[in-house]
Amino acid sequence: MTKTIKNNQNESSLSPAQQVLEDSLTIPDEASSLATIRDILFGEQVREVEQKRQQLQHELRDSIDALRQSSTSQFERLYDELHKLRDLLGEEREERKSDTNNGNEQLSQLSDSVAKIDQKHTDAEKALRESILQETNKLDQQARSWHQEVSEKLERASKELKSDKTDRGDLAKMLRGVAEQLLDEPKA
């Protein structure tokens, strides 16, 4: 503090240029002396701490860069995997959609085939029933015709028998005559 008072007294007697020159000379002396004292007392420790700090800072930067690169590569791999999975899911969805469409198409074709077969079966059954009905009608007509014909023939035969009927006595005489002729014939 006494140095400061002396400096203030000296400053008033000096010109401003001299005073700036003196101030610039005294400040570095004080700063250099403080730095020298600090360097003497703590120099080695400060340098070691500074080196350790710089080394740690360098290691931290390296670790951060390595972590950044590792994270970036992991994110890129995950991104690639996600894209692959998305593509696979898209392909799977398209395959399932295609399979579903194919299944629906095949089901539709089978349904159409069953409907056609059912229609053919219905038509064939209808045609068979009509054919059976026609044949039954023909057979019925034929049976009636035969019945009528047989009835007519029986009626005619009955009428003929009635008209041609000989009496029993005449028939007995005639049979006796045939029997006598058979007996009279020489045996050959």
Query: What's the pLDDT score for residue 61?
Result: 93
Asked whether the predicted pLDDT for residue 2 surpasses 50, the reply is no
Exposed / middle / buried, residue 83 (Cβ in 10 Å: 0-12, 13-18, 19+): exposed
Q: Which helix (H) or strand (E) holds 117?
A: helix 16-163
Distance (Å, whole) CA 131 – CA 133: 5
Give 11-39 pLDDT, tens digit per residue.
Answer: 456 677 666 656 655 555 566 777 777 67
